[in-house]
Amino acid sequence: MGSEIPQLHIFFFPFMAHGHMIPTVDMAKLFGTRGVKTSIITTPGNVPLFSKTIQRSKDLGIEMDLKTIKFPVETGLPEGCENLDAITTGERSKEMAIKFFKATAKLQEPLEQLLRECKPDCLVADMFFPWATAVSARFGIPRLVFHGTSFFSLCTTVCMTMCEPHKQVSSDSEPFVVPGLPGDIKLTRKQLPDFMKSNEETDFTKMLKDSKESELKSYGVVVNSFYELEPAYADYYRNVLGRRAWHIGPLSLCNRNVEDKAFRGKRASIDENECLKWLNSKKPNSVVYICFGSVANFNSDQLMEIAEGLEASGQEFIWVVRKDKKDQDGNEDWLPEGFEKRMEGKGLIIRGWAPQVLILENAAVGGFVTHCGWNSTLEGVTAGVPMVAWPISAEQFYNEKLVTQVLKIGVSVGVQQWARLVGDFVKRDAIEKAVKEVMVGDRAEEMRSRAKALGEMATRAVDKEGSSYADLNALIEELSLTRNSNKQAS
Ligand code: UDP
């Protein structure tokens, strides 16, 4: 940035879930590398998830800090529960998630207090904080919305909300075309989030409605994507739906060295060097990586089916399993008898958290079985690997369509039903077939070469003069001008 523009100070306020916090901290870092002073706002329980990254950024000369606000008390929510991650298991998880969202709505007041004290020039706040637009307006600063998803799914959501085509089909499995959306995209009612299908107004649906309205009143939207990946949808979002949006991704590419890539969100449950040593001993494109993000939680039967499907596929693998469930004798009831012994040297199970970006970009990885969370999907694109799409919830069924039908860099495992956390049951044969389809044969090679080309475009997009680099520059300049004219007016 030229020295004629005084330094901007931007607040970044992510929702307390890994899929939101990880790209937000990357985004703050990215703004920081362009000379913007950035502050991440979070609650005390989430500090450890940011502090190391912030320290490392500071060491690199990036002006970045962390500001905390107290997590509100909410009856029925256990003390210390400050991250959605903490409530993804157990029968009461849905009830707890509702309480969690309710608690986060009370963050408005402490945030206002912080804005009053620090007087930043802009607030980038998560879509799950709809009230952030009005709060920013009170302080005369722009509010940018961060959804953490693709242009494709942003457009799909708007088209679905406007036209409600799912209300015009006669059954849950009858396909309908998403009206207006380029590409003749078909969905079924089964694949839609339950809150979209129900007419009942809940606190959650009300919050989503408020979120949509507050987006329209906001300064605009920052998107973790790059233009070349989904030009038709980036154009549609801006030019047809009339939204102000800046694409500044892939955000994960702001992590340049091994340690930054290895430590995103949580400390990995495997030593990164051990993991790299294992991968480096494998042939290029010979390992399939399986991971379902930070929220999804399969039961033992499904995990067993995955194990058997993987073994039958004959492919080498790294499989990330959330669960560390053992029976009374210390055995894990989700693994077939003798599985790990048979798979020794062939497959690696990571119990807990994997250094995902580091794994994906290794030359040995030739395919990715993913739940199509947007961060994972984009990380897969960036790494240039074909994907098996296994969507579970949120907007993952939309991202599945982007991967399999628009970009043609993946195959569906065949999930039909949107579900919270646990997912639609997929049989071993389907898993085996899908894994083979992305790993071996001519079709796999075609998908891989398309994915590789997109991965190269991703790298170019964030390089100097690339499309995301330019859009971020344009945004920073516009925010500086807005700040200056606000200052003159006051
Ligand atoms: N992730 C990771 N290690 C894991 C699981 C997830 O680093 O073992 C990261 C992954 O790289 C991505 C994020 O967590 O950046 C998950 O976000 P995504 O949108 O894919 O899914 P969500 O967790 O929101 O369902």
- pLDDT of the chain, 490 residues: tens digit per residue: 444 557 999 999 999 999 999 999 999 999 999 999 999 999 999 999 999 999 999 998 999 999 999 999 888 888 889 998 888 666 677 888 889 999 999 999 999 999 999 999 999 999 999 999 999 999 999 999 999 999 999 999 999 999 999 999 999 999 999 999 999 999 999 999 988 887 888 888 999 999 999 999 999 999 999 999 999 999 999 999 999 999 999 999 999 989 899 988 888 999 999 999 999 999 999 999 999 999 888 889 999 999 999 999 999 999 999 866 666 666 788 999 999 999 999 999 999 999 999 999 999 999 999 999 999 999 999 999 999 999 999 999 999 999 999 999 999 999 999 987 667 899 999 999 999 999 999 999 999 999 999 999 999 999 999 999 999 999 999 999 999 888 777 7
H or E segment to which residue 470 belongs: helix 467-489
Ligand 1 proximity of 380 Cβ (cutoff 6 Å): no
Classify residue 90 as exposed, middle or buried by CB count within 10 Å of its CB (0-12, 13-18, 19+). exposed
109-134: string of b/e by CB count within 10 Å (b at 16+)? ebbbebbeeeebbbbbbbbbbbbbbe
Identify the residue whose C-alpha is closest to ligand 1 atom 11: 356
Residue 1 Cα distances to 64, 255, 295, 417, angstroms: 17, 21, 38, 48
Identify the residue whose C-alpha is closest to ligand 1 atom 10: 376
Cα dihedral across residues 226, 461, 482, 135: positive or negative? positive
Span from the CA of 276 to the centroid of ligand 1 (angstroms): 19
Q: Is the ipTM of this complex over 0.95?
A: yes
Span from the CA of 382 to the centroid of ligand 1 (angstroms): 14
pLDDT of residue 198: 79
Q: Characterise 321 by phi-psi region: left (phi > 0), alpha (psi -120 to 50), beta (else).
A: beta
Name the maximum alpha-carbon separation found in the chain: 72
Query: Hey, which residues are catalytic here?
Result: 20, 126
pLDDT of residue 145: 98
Span from the CA of 131 to the centroid of ligand 1 (angstroms): 26
Ligand 1 proximity of 264 Cβ (cutoff 6 Å): yes
Distance CA 285, CA 393 (A): 29
Record the tokens describing residue 65, joined without a space: 């800090």
Ligand 1 proximity of 49 Cβ (cutoff 6 Å): no
DSSP one-letter code for 256? -
The number of C-alpha atoms within 13 Å of 305 and in the hemisphere containing its C-beta is 15
Nearest-atom index, ligand 1, CA of 148? 19
Distance CA 53, CA 49 (A): 8
Span from the CA of 282 to the centroid of ligand 1 (angstroms): 24
The residue assigned the tokens 């495992």 is: 413
Identify the residue whose C-alpha is closest to ligand 1 atom 13: 19
Ligand 1 proximity of 320 Cβ (cutoff 6 Å): yes
Distance CA 333, CA 344 (A): 19
- Cβ–Cβ < 8 Å for 265, 22: yes
Record the tokens describing residue 301, joined without a space: 């039967």
Closest CA to 367 of 389, 349, 396: 389
pLDDT of residue 2: 46
pLDDT of residue 249: 97
Nearest-atom index, ligand 1, CA of 376? 20
Span from the CA of 199 to the centroid of ligand 1 (angstroms): 31
Record the tokens describing residue 151, joined without a space: 């242009």
Q: Which of 22, 395, 398 to mutate to test the pocket of ligand 1 (most atoms within 8 A of CB)?
A: 22
DSSP one-letter code for 13? E
